[in-house]
Amino acid sequence: QKEVEQNSGPLSVPEGAIASLNCTYSDRGSQSFFWYRQYSGKSPELIMFIYSNGDKEDGRFTAQLNKASQYVSLLIRDSQPSDSATYLCAVELYMEYGNKLVFGAGTILRVKS
Amino acid sequence: SAVISQKPSRDICQRGTSLTIQCQVDSQVTMMFWYRQQPGQSLTLIATANQGSEATYESGFVIDKFPISRPNLTFSTLTVSNMSPEDSSIYLCSVEGRTGEVGYTFGSGTRLTVV
């Protein structure tokens, strides 16, 4: 089983709709979870992070975490064509020598105008 | 967040040769991370570089193929040795956020093509 799993998509939504991106992880000890957005040819940029169970909202983005189910999601409200990108779920793992970030395969999101 | 300068931004190399990628950070950081992103794939961690100690490599990556230097707290290099076309990828360096900051920042990446 991979450490972080995502549906690779593509996920297509119409402009103005809610895009829902999902991620599961295998390490029950993980405490920190991140969503990165990556445009084609660019490096990843952090858009959301979440540490506690429940929802966390920032503008049009809502991150949801359920540690019992080992599940993280990202909701994008009022999706815009500029949201079209690959969304990477990342989980921070704690190792003897320090922390490291492990990424899922990424979900391609296409917002159609 | 930290600002990372990574170079070269891209290169085309002959098989059998080596390429050294540099990352310079605008502040001191304890750990630097090197990732590979193969075409159409996600990011795979190659190794973690601590200043003053040998890098820690992930499963499937070895020091002979990807030697790393970390001479100080703001700089690191990754060398891709004895390259083959399968090494054609984007290589990214990354650092943790500064104290009080969240998340990890990435360099702009090095797009490597091996012919």
Q: What is the pLDDT of residue B35?
A: 97
Q: Which residues of A make CB contacts under 8 Å with B?
A: 34, 42-46, 49, 88, 90, 95, 97-106
Distance between CA atoms of A35 and A58, rounded to whole angstroms? 12
Cα–Cα distance, A39 to B81 (Å, whole number): 29
For the stretch B39-68, pLDDT in tens is: 988 899 999 998 878 899 999 999 999 999
pLDDT of residue A108: 96
For A6-47, what is each residue's pLDDT tens digit? 988 899 999 999 999 999 999 888 889 999 999 999 999 999
Q: What is the pLDDT of residues A84-107, one digit of tens each?
A: 999 999 999 888 778 889 999 999
Asked if residue A2 has pLDDT above 80, the reply is no
Kindly list the residues from chain B whose CB atom is less than 8 angstroms away from the CB atom of residue A100.
33, 45, 48
Q: Which of A77-81, B26-30, B86-90 has the lowest mean pLDDT?
A: B26-30
pLDDT at A1 over 70: no
Check B92 against A43: CB less than 8 A apart. Answer: yes
Summarize the confidence of residues B67-76 as an average pLDDT. Answer: 94
How big is chain A, counted in residues? 113
Q: Minimal Cα distance from A106: which residue of B?
A: B42
Return the percentage of chain B with pLDDT > 90, whole number. 80
Residue A105, min C-alpha distance to chain B (Å): 5
> A35 to chain B nearest CA, in Å?
10
CA distance A71 to A87: 15
